[in-house]
Structures are given as C-alpha cells and as structure tokens.
Amino acid sequence: MDETIQTSEISVGVVGLGLMGSSIVAALLMAGHPVKAIAPLPNELADALQRITSQLQHGEEAELLTQPLEKTVTLLTLSADYGELHDCRLVLECVTEKIPIKQSVYEKIAAVVSTDTVLASNTSAIPISMLQQYVPNPERFMGVHWAEPAYMTRFMEITCGTHTSVDLADWVFRLAHHWKKEPTLLRKDIRGFVTNRLMYAIYREGLHLVETGAASLDDVDKAFRYDAGSWITMMGIFRRMDYTGLQDYPEIFRRIFPQLSNSEAVPKLMQHLVDRQLRGTQSAQGLYDYTEEEAKEWDKAFAVFNKDIYQLAARYPFRTDQRIG
C-alpha cells in the first residue's frame, strides 16, 4: 500500500446512488475518504442514507471500518446538487448504461470540478475510448469497474482509454489498494474488459448446454460451484493451470475448443425471460422460480457469503500486483 496517499485528504465524488453507486459510496467511506454522493434522480436520494448506513453496518460487522461507524457517516455529503463536487480530486460515475445519460452527467460534472479532477466511469459495457469524447479533458478519464457489493469484494478493473494518462491511471491503481482491492490496470481499452469477457463466455456455454438438452440449469450451476468454485478464489485460472501441470492442455484444447458454442445470437432462453420482464430474485422469477421469502433469503445469504469469502481470500495473499497491458 502506498503510504504517501492519505485518503482523508482526498475528496471523492460519486454520481448515481442506485444499488451499485451506494455500495461504492460505502466502500470509499470505509477507506476514510470524504465522499460527495450525488443523486441525479430524486428517488435515489430518498432512501440513500438508510441504504448506505446499512452497508456500513455490514462492513462494521466484518471489521472493515477504519474508524467508528458514527464518525464514518460524518464523512458523507448527500445531495442532488452537482456543485458539491467542486473540491473532488476524483469523481466516479455510476449511472445507467445509456450514452446520452452519461454524456449529460459528464457535462454537469465538468461544469463544477477543477480541470485537474480525474473522472471515471463504472461502466461494464461501453468502451472507455468512446466515452472519452464526451469529456473536456479525455486524458483525465478512465474506467474504474467495481463488483457488487463494492465494499465487500476485492475485484477492481482500471481501464485506460485511447487518451488516458497512464500516470493518472497508476495513481488510481495505487489508490485502489487503500480501498482494499486487488486491482488490474488495463492499458488497452478492450470491449467488455477482462471479467465480462470471461464471464460472458461462461454464460454463453452454460446456456448452450441447457438449450441443447445436454444439462439442466442445476447441473451447470453445481458443476461450476463445486469445481471452479472450490479453487478459483485462491488461484485464478492461470495459476490453476500451472498447479495442475501444463502438458495435457494442448491436446484438451484441440479436442474441446471445436465443440464449444461460438454463437453471436442472444440465447433464446434468456431472450424469452427478458421479453416476459422477469428479473430473477428481484421479481421472484427468472431462470429459477422463488417465493418472496426465498428471494429475500438469497440477499441475506449473499451478504454473509461475501463477508466470509472476503476474509477467506485474505488468508491466501499470493499477491503479484501485476498490470495487464
């Protein structure tokens, strides 16, 4: 961790206070930053304090707070006024994945912050180089992609666009360690970044197996949970290959790769669910069906699991801090 960085002296802005935005606010508060949280939508402001406080309480239970909860909350400014961002050194945008809305948000941020302020997007789908054209200082713009819950996961992707200053990206990379992350720094702006490219390849193959009748949803989930799920937090995929020995992989690749789905279409199963406006646990119906109580239990269980897995990962700190690019 870079001891020259003092989080208490770095004000950070967060624009967008939905589920992800609130979670990011909690993570930054836990790290000791003064946080200016801006709600672009009135309904986001209504319950933001209660939601963020609840997340901080969960963090306190996991012993993640650097100071008492009561003091941590005093670092938070909640507002609908973009002017509150005027003294922020870093502003994180986490609004909906629609370019016109992001463009409007960037214009409002740029109107009040210093030309030295770093602006970052939590986007998981839009290329950073594309979004850079909507900001006045593109060299100060980058992607900072969090995972939900932001305050209880070690994942982070920092992505440079075509014009991003590598020095500024490196500053955010170092800052991320104060957020208790294990960040990657991508010097090349690739569509979907790393985590989405990996996961969507898995989603496609899993849905392909179900649609072709090769396996059930439960079969696929169990296979992934009890194989990859048993080692992936400790060693990732490439260290797993090293650990199991490399000699068999070329032959396995030759045999398996031609059998994998390479479809470019949306899987019919997924499209059918979306057409019916189903949202999984949020609507108590999706790939699986849930009672209202079961859906709530998944939320509770996931919160406890994230605490457990966060602490488990800390017991196996094989860190390399290697950058990608």
Q: How does pLDDT run along the chain (325 residues), one tens digit per residue?
A: 677 889 999 999 999 999 899 999 999 999 999 999 999 988 888 899 999 999 999 889 888 888 899 999 999 999 999 999 999 999 999 999 999 999 999 999 999 999 999 999 999 889 999 999 999 999 999 999 999 899 999 899 999 999 999 999 999 999 999 999 989 999 888 887 888 889 999 999 999 999 999 999 999 999 999 999 999 988 899 999 999 999 999 999 999 999 999 999 999 999 999 999 999 998 999 999 999 999 989 988 988 888 888 888 878 766 544 444 4
Residue 195's identity, in one-letter code, is T
What pLDDT, on the 0 to 100 scale, is given for residue 62?
A: 84
- Residue located via tokens 């002017």: 83
- Residue located via tokens 């294990």: 182
SS3 91: strand
Q: What are the residue ranges spanned by the domains of the chain?
A: 8-186, 197-315
> Nearest to residue 286, comparing CAs of 311, 269, 303?
269
**CATH code of domain 197-315:** 1.10.1040.10
What pLDDT, on the 0 to 100 scale, is given for residue 46?
A: 87
> Nearest to residue 155, comparing CAs of 132, 124, 129?
124
Strands (E) located in 81-176: 90-93, 118-121, 141-146, 156-160
R_g (Cα) of the chain, nearest Å? 21
**Domains 8-186 and 197-315 belong to one CATH topology:** no
Alpha helices in 69-165 (DSSP H): 69-73, 99-110, 128-131
**Cα 8 from Cα 262, distance rounded (Å):** 48
Peptide linkage before 149 cis (omega within 30 of 0): yes
**Cα 138 from Cα 263, distance rounded (Å):** 35
The count of other CB atoms within 10 Å of the CB of residue 184 is: 21
Topology (CATH) of 8-186: Rossmann fold (3.40.50)
Q: Which residues contact 240 (CB under 8 A, 6 or more apart)?
A: 231, 232
**Cα 241 from Cα 237, distance rounded (Å):** 6
**What's the pTM value of the predicted model, to 2 decimals?**
0.79
